[in-house]
Structure formats: structure tokens, C-alpha cells
Amino acid sequence: MLISLPPQNVHLTYCTNIHAGESWEEISASLNETIPVLRKKLELLEGQPFGIGLRLSAIAADSLAQPAVLQQFKMQLQKLGAYVFTINAFPYGPFHTVRVKEQVYLPDWRDAERLRYTRQCAVILSQLLPDDMEGSISTVPGAYKSETQTADAQQQIVEQLIQAVAMLAEMEQATGKCIALALEPEPCCFLETMSETTAFFCDQLWAKDSIGKLAALVSCTEAQAERLMRRHLGVCYDVCHAAVEFEDPVHAMQTLTALGIRIPKIQLSCALRIPVMHADLLSELRRFDDGVYLHQVVIQNEDGLQRYTDLPAALAAYQAGHADGEWRVHCHVPIFWDSEQQQASTLGSTRADLLATLRALRKQGFSGHLEVETYTWDVLPAHLKTESKDHAIARELSFIMKELLT
């Protein structure tokens, strides 16, 4: 949906990774079921288009890339009164009902298959983007951190991303559609913190050697290559992920902008927050250990920040007396959940970080693409799912619109 803010017009959507389904047929069916309901609940006028944040698995992308299937989807979008402006190309394989965990990063940016899949998504998006609209594709933040401890591994990531930029630059030249790839920093990944992210862009992606390689690939000057690198590669800023890291969202986005690092997309989401961890919360926290997703934990106390790759490890550390303090858990919870009266003895969310982000967006045009992402809906504890999924999506979008426009 197009929202007019003083700094710029922004497109707001939700990410369809909340719906189970890996095949294109399943994804298409979920759109037919959900979009009409959301249009009605959001009271969109006839002719007012609904923006879609499309999640495509590799098998779905391969299907949709077929000309006949893509043409059918264009007709489907017309009937739904919808358009696609961003694609979530982070999860390559199954993302629901099976153990995902650290497999979600594979193939990572060391692997040529990640580049092939991303190219497929870019080709699809270039065909779906409305005229005079830029597109974005969010992707893995390089790789899982344990896989990037060597200089060779990091250089493989850089080389593949250079090729991705060259591909997007050539695609814009051929189609007139500008698409930006957005690396999505995440706890326990190669790009985790804002300092790691900015260092990677400034010291590796924008290094003279990298720019020279891009210039050779697209047959342009190094000055032109640097502009292309900045135009087609940036950061997908996930408010949940940053909150888990105890990072100030406004300062982070200002830092990226000041350095000239694009933010093609901002994902609007909240993490689980425990202001003061204590034993009475152990059983309640275990309800979030769903066995499907990684729930990285960052704990702040007098010793600084402690990081755990998954919730069970953090719970075990606490029981051993090593994890006191405030907990932030990488579990996307509904953005309308929490209360201003949250007590230190209860579970809550990082909604304060989200509200700070939305206040900043009313004044500064950090990004033109906003995407609500609460993909964990199906595995959340029952007390957080007291309404239908469609109603929850509509409620989240309404919450964002109200905060942006008031």
C-alpha cells in the first residue's frame, strides 16, 4: 500500500512468509485466500492497490519464472488489485513445519546456487514491478557466522555479491527496472551488528579491489562501478534483529544513511524481551522453543553482552547460573502484543524499538519499502494467537499505518 509521508512516499506490506507453502501453487492459493480478506479488513477502496512482499522458495521461483506461469500471476494480481514491489529471497528451502534452524542460511553467499536463485528472483521481480517503481530483494547476511571465520570464506561472499551487483546493473540497463539487493543482518550471522555491517561495506565491498572487479564485469569506470555498488546493494534493516542486539534503531539507520549505505527495505517486527530474567519464567520461555526456528538470545548485564545461538542453550546457561540480566530473544512476536505497563517480572516485546523506528520514519526517509514480518505465527504459544491469522495481519498493518500517519 502506498503511504504518503512528508519525507517520501513509502510502500507498506506484510511478508507472505507467514503462510506455509513452498510450491508456487501453494503460494498462489494463499494469496487468493488472504488478499481479499485483508482488503476488506483494511477498508481499501476499489482501485486502491495492495502491495505484496512476496516470499519465494527456490522451487517456487523456478516455477514462477516460466513465462506462462508468470503471465497467469500478472492476471491474478490484476484480479486481486495487488502489486509486488519486494521479494524475500532469504529462505531458499522449506520454511515451515520442518526443522529450519541454521539450514535457513543455506545455500549461503559462498555458494553459486545462492546467486542463481537470487538472479531468478530478480528476473521475476523485474517483470512484476510497476513502471517507475524500484524493487528490493532481501537476502541472507552472507552466511552463518561459524562458516565465515576464514578470509577465504569472506572473500567468496564478496566475489558472489560483486557478481550479483553486476547482474542487477545489467538487468536495469536491459529492462529499466532498478532492483536493490538487501543483506539482512541477523544475530549469530556473518553480518550481525551494525559495526560489522558497516565495516563489511566500507572495507570489503567498497574496497578498490572489489570496485575494480565490478568495473571489469560491467565494462565501466571505477567511479561508475562504485555508484552501481551503492545503488544495487544495501541493507535490509530488521527492527527485531537489531533489538535483539540492543542497538538503537534510529542511530543505526542514521549511520547507514550517513555512510551512503542504502536501506532498500525495513522489516517491521518485534522480538521477545524479558527485562529481568528469573526462574519463574523458565517454563513460559520453553513454550517458545518450537524446534523449527533458531531463537538466538542476547543478554545484557554488568559483564556486557552474552550471546547464545539458540534458546535451549541460553536456558541451560541460566540454570547453571551464567545468564542473569535482560534477555532479548530472536522470536518474531506480533507487533501489537505488549503493554506500556509491562512489568519486569513478565515476558514482553521490543515494541519500544519499533515505535522509535516509526517515529523516525515520519521525519526521515530512510527507506521506501516497509514490510511487517511475523513469520513465526504458526509456532507461537496459543496465548499469542487469540484471533485468526488474517485478522492478525490486518491488525499489524493497521497498527503501522496509524503510527505513521498520526
Q: What is the pLDDT of residues 135-190, one digit of tens each?
A: 999 999 999 999 999 999 999 999 999 999 999 999 999 999 999 999 999 999 99
What is the enclosing helix (H) or strand (E) of 291? none
pLDDT at residue 63 is higher than 50? yes
pLDDT at residue 36 is higher than 90? yes
Positive or negative, the CA dihedral 47, 89, 236, 187 is positive
pLDDT at residue 107 is higher than 70? yes
**pLDDT given for residue 108 in this prediction:** 99
**pLDDT given for residue 337 in this prediction:** 86
Sorting pLDDT into bands at 50, 70 and 90, what band is 297?
very high
pLDDT at residue 341 is higher than 60? no
Q: What is the pLDDT of residues 17-34, one digit of tens each?
A: 999 999 999 999 999 999
Sorting pLDDT into bands at 50, 70 and 90, what band is 7?
confident
**pLDDT given for residue 344 in this prediction:** 56
Q: How far apart are CA 379 and CA 95, in angstroms?
A: 12
Look at the chain and count its residues. 406
What percent of the chain clears pLDDT 70, i.e. is strictly above it?
Answer: 98
pLDDT at residue 378 is higher than 70? yes
β-bridge partners, 183: 139, 235
As a whole number, the mean pLDDT across the chain is 96
Residue 354: closest CA among 275, 283, 248, 276: 248
Which of helix, strand or coil describes residue 139?
Answer: strand
**pLDDT given for residue 240 in this prediction:** 98
Averaged pLDDT for residues 89-116: 97
Q: 299 near 363, Cβ under 8 Å?
A: no
Q: Does domain 2-270+349-405 have CATH number 3.40.640.10?
A: no
β-bridge partners, 82: 50
Question: Where would I find the H helices in 233-388?
Answer: 239-244, 249-259, 282-286, 311-319, 351-361
**pLDDT given for residue 386 in this prediction:** 86
Which of helix, strand or coil describes residue 144?
Answer: strand
**pLDDT given for residue 45 in this prediction:** 82
pLDDT at residue 252 is higher than 50? yes
* pTM for this predicted structure: 0.97
pLDDT at residue 47 is higher than 90? no
Greatest pairwise CA separation for the chain in angstroms:
63
Grid cell, residue 29, equals 492459493
Higher-pLDDT residue of 173 and 342 is 173
**pLDDT given for residue 338 in this prediction:** 72
Residue 406: exposed, middle, or buried by beta-carbon count in 10 A (0-12, 13-18, 19+)? exposed
Sorting pLDDT into bands at 50, 70 and 90, what band is 340?
very low
**pLDDT given for residue 59 in this prediction:** 98
**pLDDT given for residue 406 in this prediction:** 84
